[in-house]
C-alpha cells in the first residue's frame, strides 16, 4: 500500500461473525462469551498476573535504548536519550519495546484486542471533535497493534506508580492508584458487557466519565486543562510560529532545535504527498481540504518516544487567510511487533505503517480526528492528522495526592472502553470477574515493574556518565 487509495478498515482480528437470521441461513448456537472468559481462570488464574519474571536475555537499559534508536535521525537521538534520562517515568515513556519484551514472558489469557501498545498515564488527554466539543480518550497510537489486553493495563498501572512516586506520593498512594486503574478497568468492562451493544460502543468518552469513575477531585484540574485545550488550535500555533511572506502568504519561523526549515525539495515532497493522503479520507472530507492551499512546510521535533522520527508541520490557508496546520509524522513499525510472536500472537504483515496507526486509532476511539489519514513520502510511511486540534493533557507526575487515584480510575475506564471496540466485553468481563483478585495482582506487578524501571533509569544515567550513550539535555 503506497498511501494512494482510501481503503476501508479490515475486519478486526478475532471478531465473531455476525449471525444470520432465519430465511437466509441457520442461526448457529453460540457459546456464552462470559462463560468462556470465566473458564480461562482455570488455566490462567487472575492472581498469576502479579508475576514478573525477567529472563537472562533481557537487554540492559543502554542496549535497549540504543536498539530503539535504530532508523531514527542520528542527530536527534541524543535529544531522545536526554529526555528519557529526565526520570523513571520519562524512561518508561520511551521504552515500550523493552516493556513488551518483559510482558511477553508474563501470563496471558490469549484474549486479543486492538491495544494502544503504549498506554502509559500521559497518553490520555483531551482533543476536539468535529463540532467543537472536547473528548477525553487515549490519544497516542504509534505502537497500536492487535495484542493481549493485559499488556495495556499493566503498562498503565506501572506508569501510575512511577508518576505517583515522582509527584511525591507515598507508596500506599501509588499502589492504590494502580489498584484503582485495574478496578476501574474491570468494573467498566462489566458495565459495558451489560449495556446494549450500540450504547456500549459509544460510551464514556466525554465529561460523563468523571461521574462514572467518581473522579470529582479531578474536576478542577480537568477544567483548567479544558480551558487551555480550547485555545490550543492551529490558529494560535500559526500566529506564534509563522510570519508574513513577501508573496502575501505566511511561512514558519525557525525555532531550533524544535522547529526548523527544510530544503525546498524535501518540502515539495511532503506537500506532494498530501494528494495521496486526501484519498485515504472519506469522500465527504475531501471538499474541505480542497478549499485550502499549502503555504509552507517545516520539520518539527515530536515527543519523548518519537524523537528522531521524521515529522513535519504543513501550513495551509483558506481564502480568508485562516490557517489549518497538519502534522505529517513518520510511522515506524510497532515496537511490540517482535515480542508478539514470543507471546504467541500471530500478526499479519503490515502493508503501510501509517495505515496501521490510523486504523488502530479509529478502532479504539469513540471519536477520531476527521482529517486522520496516511501517506508516503520518499518511500517512507507517514500518518497525517490535525496539529493542535484543541489538544490538552494532564501531567500525571504533577497531580496532587488526592487526584492520583481519580486519574487512575478515569484512565482505567477509558482503556476498558477502547478495548471493548475490538474484543467482546463479555469475554474480558467474564475473566476479570466481580472481586478484586485481578486488581491486586496488577498492583503487585505494577509495583515490581516500577522498581525495575527505576533501576533501568539508573543504568541509563550510568551509561551516559560513562560515555556509552550520548545524551542532550535541557531542550
Per-residue pLDDT reduced to its tens digit, 43-100: 999 999 999 999 999 999 999 999 999 999 999 999 999 999 999 999 999 999 999 9
Task: Report the pLDDT averaged over residues 1-16.
Answer: 43
Cβ–Cβ under 8 Å, residues 6 and 281: yes
Q: What confidence category does residue 347 fall into, taking pLDDT thresholds of 50, 70 and 90?
A: confident
- How many residues does the structure list for the chain? 475
Specify if 440 maps to a domain: yes
Q: How, if at all, do strands 259-260 and 250-252 pair?
A: unpaired
**Range(s) of the domain holding residue 205:** 33-229+397-465
pLDDT exceeds cutoff 50 at 366? yes
Predicted local confidence at residue 175, as pLDDT = 98
Predicted local confidence at residue 3, as pLDDT = 43
Task: Report the pLDDT averaged over residues 228-249.
Answer: 85
Q: Residue 230: is it exposed, middle or buried by C-beta count within 10 angstroms (0-12/13-18/19+)?
A: middle
Task: Report the pLDDT averaged over residues 172-179.
Answer: 98
Specify if 4 maps to a domain: no
Q: How, if at all, do strands 373-377 and 323-330 pair?
A: unpaired
pLDDT exceeds cutoff 50 at 297? yes
Report the share of the chain in percent with pLDDT over 70. Answer: 90
Specify if 355 maps to a domain: no
| Stated pTM of the model | 0.90
pLDDT exceeds cutoff 80 at 304? no
Specify if 353 maps to a domain: no
pLDDT exceeds cutoff 80 at 150? yes
Specify if 68 maps to a domain: yes
Predicted local confidence at residue 211, as pLDDT = 64
Closest CA to 51 of 444, 454, 396: 444
Predicted local confidence at residue 9, as pLDDT = 43
- As a whole number of angstroms, the distance between CA 311 and CA 299 comes to 6
Predicted local confidence at residue 302, as pLDDT = 84
pLDDT exceeds cutoff 50 at 243? yes
pLDDT exceeds cutoff 50 at 6? no
Specify if 81 maps to a domain: yes
C-alpha cell at 194: 451489560
Specify if 473 maps to a domain: no
Task: Report the pLDDT averaged over residues 362-375.
Answer: 94
Predicted local confidence at residue 30, as pLDDT = 61
Specify if 147 maps to a domain: yes
Looking at beta carbons, which pairs linking 227-230 to residues 24 or more positions away fall under 8 Å? 228/392, 229/125, 229/126, 229/127, 229/128, 229/134, 229/390, 229/391, 229/392, 230/134, 230/390
Average pLDDT, the chain: 89
**Up-side HSE of residue 474: CA atoms within 13 Å toward CB?**
1
- As a whole number of angstroms, the distance between CA 61 and CA 63 comes to 6
Predicted local confidence at residue 257, as pLDDT = 84
List strands edge to edge, sheet with 392-393: 134-138, 124-128, 392-393
Cβ–Cβ under 8 Å, residues 141 and 357: yes
- What is the tens place of the pLDDT at every residue in 272-287? 999 999 999 999 999 9
Report the share of the chain in percent with pLDDT over 90. Answer: 73
- As a whole number of angstroms, the distance between CA 115 and CA 227 comes to 30
Cβ–Cβ under 8 Å, residues 139 and 124: yes
Predicted local confidence at residue 50, as pLDDT = 98
Number of domains in the chain: 1
User: Please, what is the angle between helix 149-167 and helix 401-419, to 10°?
Assistant: 170
Predicted local confidence at residue 207, as pLDDT = 54
Q: What confidence category does residue 13 fall into, taking pLDDT thresholds of 50, 70 and 90?
A: very low
Amino acid at each position: 500500500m503506497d498511501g494512494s487509495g482510501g481503503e476501508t478498515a479490515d475486519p478486526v482480528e478475532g471478531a465473531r461473525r455476525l449471525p444470520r437470521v432465519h430465511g437466509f441461513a441457520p442461526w448457529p448456537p453460540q457459546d456464552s462469551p462470559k462463560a468462556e472468559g470465566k473458564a480461562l481462570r482455570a488455566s490462567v488464574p487472575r492472581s498469576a498476573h502479579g508475576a514478573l519474571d525477567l529472563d537472562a536475555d533481557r537487554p540492559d537499559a543502554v542496549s535497549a535504548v540504543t536498539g530503539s534508536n535504530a532508523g531514527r535521525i542520528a542527530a536527534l537521538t541524543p535529544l531522545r536519550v536526554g529526555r528519557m534520562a529526565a526520570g523513571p517515568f520519562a524512561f518508561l515513556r520511551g521504552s515500550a519495546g523493552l516493556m513488551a519484551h518483559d510482558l511477553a514472558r508474563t501470563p496471558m489469557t490469549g484474549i486479543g484486542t486492538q491495544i494502544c501498545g503504549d498506554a502509559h498515564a500521559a497518553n490520555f488527554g483531551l482533543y476536539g471533535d468535529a463540532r467543537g466539543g472536547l473528548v477525553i480518550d487515549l490519544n497516542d497510537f504509534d505502537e497500536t497493534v492487535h495484542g493481549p489486553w493485559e499488556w495495556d493495563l499493566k503498562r498503565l498501572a506501572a506508569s501510575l506508580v512511577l508518576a505517583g512516586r515522582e509527584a511525591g506520593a507515598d507508596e500506599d498512594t501509588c499502589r492504590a492508584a494502580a489498584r484503582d486503574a485495574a478496578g476501574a478497568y474491570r468494573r467498566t468492562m462489566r458495565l459495558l458487557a451489560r449495556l446494549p451493544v450500540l450504547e456500549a460502543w459509544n460510551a464514556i468518552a466525554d465529561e460523563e466519565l468523571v461521574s462514572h469513575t467518581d473522579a470529582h477531585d479531578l474536576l478542577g484540574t480537568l477544567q483548567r486543562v479544558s480551558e487551555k485545550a480550547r485555545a490550543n488550535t492551529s490558529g494560535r500555533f500559526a500566529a506564534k510560529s509563522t510570519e508574513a511572506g513577501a508573496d502575501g502568504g505566511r511561512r514558519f519561523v525557525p525555532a531550533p532545535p524544535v522547529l526548523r526549515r527544510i530544503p525546498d525539495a524535501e518540502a515539495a515532497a511532503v506537500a506532494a504527498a498530501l494528494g495521496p493522503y486526501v484519498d485515504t479520507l472519506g469522500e465527504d472530507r475531501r471538499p474541505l481540504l480542497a478549499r485550502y492551499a499549502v503555504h509552507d512546510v517545516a520539520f518539527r521535533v515530536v515527543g519523548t518516544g518519537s524523537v528522531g522520527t521524521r515529522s513535519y508541520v504543513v501550513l495551509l490557508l483558506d481564502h480568508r487567510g485562516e490557517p489549518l496546520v497538519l502534522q505529517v509524522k513518520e510511522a515506524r513499525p510497532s515496537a511490540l511487533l517482535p515480542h508478539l510472536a514470543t507471546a504467541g500472537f500471530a500478526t499479519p504483515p503490515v502493508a503501510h505503517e501509517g495505515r496501521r496507526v490510523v486504523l488502530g486509532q479509529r478502532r479504539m476511539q469513540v471519536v477520531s480526528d476527521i482529517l486522520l489519514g496516511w501517506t508516503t513520502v520518499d518511500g517512507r510511511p507517514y500518518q497525517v492528522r490535525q496539529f493542535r486540534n484543541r489538544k490538552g493533557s494532564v501531567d500525571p507526575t504533577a497531580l496532587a495526592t488526592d487526584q492520583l487515584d481519580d486519574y487512575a480510575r478515569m484512565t482505567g475506564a477509558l482503556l476498558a472502553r477502547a478495548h471493548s471496540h475490538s474484543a467482546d466485553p463479555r469475554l474480558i468481563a467474564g475473566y476479570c470477574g466481580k472481586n478484586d483478585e485481578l486488581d491486586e495482582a496488577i498492583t503487585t506487578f505494577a509495583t515490581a515493574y516500577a522498581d525495575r524501571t527505576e533501576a533501568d533509569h539508573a543504568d541509563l544515567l550510568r551509561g551516559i556518565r560513562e560515555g556509552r550513550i550520548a545524551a542532550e539535555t535541557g531542550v
